Amino acid sequence: MPLSQRLVFAEDKTYKIAGEWALPPFSYKDQQGSLTGINIELMEKIADENGLTFEYIPMEIHEAEQALNDGEVDAIAGLTYSTEKDKVFDFTQPYFTMSDSLIIPMKSRDKIKSIEDIRDIHIVLQNNPPVLNTILNLRNTNLTLVTNHYSGLLMLLNDRAEVYIGNKFTATFFLKELGQEENYLILDEVINPADYAIAVKEGNEDLLFIINQTITKLKAKGEVSKLIDEWVSPESGAEIARLEHFIFLLFIFLLIGALILIVIYIWNQRLKEAVNIHTKELQLLNEDLQKQRQRTADSHAFKDQILNNIDTGIVTFDIDFKITSCNKRALEILELPDHTKFNLQHSPIFLKLFEHYRFGQGLQQESVEFNRFIEINDNGERKVIYYSLNKMFNSLENQAGYLLSMNDETEKKKLEQKLITQEKLHALGQLVAGVAHEIRNPLTSIKTFIDLIPRKYDQPKFQKVLMEHLPEEVNRLNRIVTDLIDYARPNLPNIQPCTALELTSLLAILQVTMKENQIEFEQYIEPDLVFNIDPQQIRQVLLNLLLNAIHAVEETEAKKINIIMEKEDFEKGRIMIKDTGKGMEQGELNHIYEPFFTTKGRGVGLGLTLSYNLIKENHGDIQVNSIPNRGTTFTVVLPLYQKEEIQNEAKSASY
């Protein structure tokens, strides 16, 4: 749902916000009994930004969590994040990180210096599971748990405990308010740091979205940091300004001093370099000559190792097409032994390759597309070689010769053909149930008529019904079988006019599978929509896309598939197939049209590749939009049959 719609929905409601009543400066009751603090001011900013109304309810933190869980309040203004709480509530992004510290009497500062010194003494702390587990891990059972920070601090002030573990900001606030700052020491011992955020009831995505969006905006403006600093920082605004001014002047002074030192240092370094540079030049030149010799030898060895260990055949020629080098893989592809390295003219494959290249050059001069691969049938075996012949240039950008690269793609082509056949058979297998159902219906009607012939043959009314329905059922069987045969038989594109209704004739077979899987199927077809395509190829595309949609919604709660056929503009129409399935991540979307890429347990990943190629052959385009856990939409754009084309056909027919 867009943010504007969420806000309109939320404006009619007063949200109840729970806040801890004794956690200054984050949230606490002021002298009038109203909640105030960092959390409350932040919630007010959120309310002002979005035109919302918040009602604040002071509570103990455990009471607030229970109230939120029961739906009595809509959010808790300030709650430390934990994995246990995350299972019950939804948290916004954090806006503060806090940890508990040790608060001890000043008289105990020599006795207690860290958390390891509190093993055997009486401790009071708020009932906070992460901190409690940390203390229990120290094997200290002399504990007192309280419901809020104020109660725990009072126990420490009344000598009913030796150490209080709590938030240092809250402790500082209460000690200052009670005039006990000089009598107690706060040790900055970081205990279980946790993110501080706003919690809403699990599933309340609208309120969570609004709060998250606003916090992000306030953070970008620096208002969140400013709000926290106003409550947490002990300095007043004037003191901070004076301190900033002093720091600025100090920085300028240090910067000037550093620049002077840098200038002096650079001057000294340049003097030293000027003395040493001439003596080192001769030494470096001598070392460079020796290294250059070694690099040249290493380069030749490295080049030979690369050329003889790659899977591509490499042959180089000079400007007159005289062979200058040839690697081992090239000899294997050309079926020649090692001792004939520079006598490649004895290879029939090599001669056919050059003949094919010269023929391709002639085609390119006539602006005809030329594929740089050659198929050779030798001794009854088919061999497919992809090759490329490119010019080579020296360091002066002058042509020095030619580079021929070859790859034997025979096994790859065989495997691709097997996998394409497997993908086709896999798709046909899924049609069997639907075809059987579609054939059974007309057969049932035919059988019924045949059973009634002996008894009602002489009745004119029966004869009329028989002659009306029996041929239609036979034609229906013929259409099903014809569509199935046309789908399985590969053809070159046969572009012709085709109505949108004709495209859906084969898709009705899939409705059996959809009913079995309780999938809701809806279709909208714009009237008078005529495409200029190969109907059988586009039917195959739609069938592949619908099979993918069925697979996507099989494991989701909302199982729904829509197909929409409508005009996009005067020249193009579009077919949209929408599902409410599991969707795809961006990483999957980047590879869906690649051959052999699949996320299914079965199949070889050629369905979308074949569909993409068929759409391109029909002068169309395909686009996909997918959101994880929400669904996927495939949009196929195809050319429409234009009135001008109809008129031209009519003129041709008259001639």
Query: Which backbone phi and psi does 621 adopt, to 5 degrees?
Result: -145, 155
pLDDT tens string 381-432: 667 888 888 888 888 888 888 888 888 877 877 777 676 666 656 655 555 5
Percent of the chain predicted with pLDDT > 70 = 80
**Given this model, what pLDDT does residue 483 score?**
54
CATH of the domain spanning 313-407: 3.30.450.20
Q: Are strands 14-20 and 53-59 parallel, antiparallel or unpaired?
A: parallel
**Structural domain spans, the chain:** 96-197, 245-305, 313-407, 415-488, 496-639
Residues paired with residue 90 on neighbouring β-strands, in sequence order? 200
Is pLDDT of 453 > 60?
A: yes
Mean pLDDT of all residues in the chain? 79
CATH of the domain spanning 96-197: 3.40.190.10
Task: Give the three-class secondary structure for 579.
Answer: strand
**Given this model, what pLDDT does residue 259 score?**
92
> Mean of the pLDDT values across residues 526-550?
89
Among the residue ranges 245-254, 355-364, 531-540, the one predicted with the least confidence is: 355-364
* pLDDT band for position 295 (cuts 50, 70, 90): confident
Is pLDDT of 212 > 50?
A: yes
CA–CA separation, 66 and 49 (whole Å): 28
CA–CA separation, 484 and 490 (whole Å): 12
**Given this model, what pLDDT does residue 236 score?**
47
Asked whether 632 and 625 are in contact (CB, 8 A), the reply is yes
Nearest to residue 109, comparing CAs of 117, 99, 101? Answer: 117
* pLDDT band for position 650 (cuts 50, 70, 90): very low
* Domain 415-488 coded CATH 3.30.70: no
**Given this model, what pLDDT does residue 427 score?**
57
Task: Give the three-class secondary structure for 426.
Answer: helix
Asked whether 326 and 341 are in contact (CB, 8 A), the reply is yes
**Given this model, what pLDDT does residue 574 score?**
94
Domain 96-197 matches domain 415-488 at the CATH topology level:
no
10 Å Cβ neighbour count for 5?
10
User: What residue has token string 């740089």?
Assistant: 372
Q: Which CATH class is domain 496-639?
A: alpha beta
pLDDT higher at 553 or 597: 553
